[in-house]
Chains A and B, each alone.
Chain A
C-alpha cells in the first residue's frame, strides 16, 4: 500500500526565516497531495494541496512543489511567524481508495521563535 515518509520530524526556525518540509510517497498512481496544519488541541486544517498535473502551487506565504518522477513533494513557508508554530502533516491517497482514505506522514513539529 501507499507509504508516506515525512522529514524532518522537528524544525526550529527564527521568525522571518523560511521553513521547508519534505515528503516522499510510494504509489506512482497517487495524484493528490494535501498538507494539513494541526495546532494543539485542534483538528487538522487543510492549508494547501496540489494535484499531479501541476508542479507548484502558491498561496501567499505557503507553497507546495511536486516532483512526480522522484515521488516527492514539499511544503515551503516563507517569512515565518510565531503563529506558524504547529504540527504539519503531508498526506496522499491510499491506492485503490479513490479519493477516500488519506495516508499521512508522521508529522513535522515546527517551532518559530520570535
Chain B
C-alpha cells in the first residue's frame, strides 16, 4: 500500500540558513499534519492542513511556515535555523473525516 512520502530524508544545514521539507500524503488523504521529534522525545504537533487551509496550529515557531498545495502535498519552510531545530520532522496524513493518522519516514534535520 502507498505510504506517506517525505523528502529529503536527511538534511544538513548551518545556523541561519533556510530549509524546505516536503510531504506527499497517501493518495486520497486530504489532511496533512507536521510533527517535530527531538532525540528521545515524543512527537510534538506543529501544524496541520485540511483541504489546503490551515486547520490547526501547535508549537510552531514564527520562523517556520507551511502550506498545502492543490495536489495536497505540503511543504514546511524553516528560516533562520537554530541548533535547537535539529530533530526528526514527520509528516502524517489522514482521510477525510477519520481519526487515523499515518506517518511518513521522517526528515532528519541537522543544524550545525
Contact = CB atoms under 8 A, between A and B. Distances in A.
A98 B99 CA distance: 9
A89 interface: yes
A97 B56 contact: yes
Given A100-B33, A102-B45, A45 B99 contact: no
Given A43-B90, A43-B105, A44-B90, A89 B99 contact: no
Contacts of A99: 94, 97-99
Contacts of A102: 33, 43, 45, 101
Chain B contact-residue range equals: 20 to 34
A102 B33 CA distance: 10
A15 B4 CA distance: 32
Contact of A44 (B43, B45, B56, B98): B43
B58 interface: yes
A49 B102 CA distance: 12
B42 interface: yes
B86 interface: no
Nearest to B42: A104
A64 interface: no
15 contacts: A32-B99, A43-B4, A43-B104, A49-B99, A51-B99, A89-B43, A99-B97, A99-B98, A100-B31, A100-B48, A100-B56, A102-B33, A104-B44, A106-B41, A107-B41
Interface of A: 32, 34, 36, 42-46, 49, 51, 89, 93-94, 97-107
Q: Which 7 A-B pairs have the closest CB atoms?
A: A104-B42, A43-B103, A101-B45, A100-B56, A32-B99, A99-B99, A44-B103
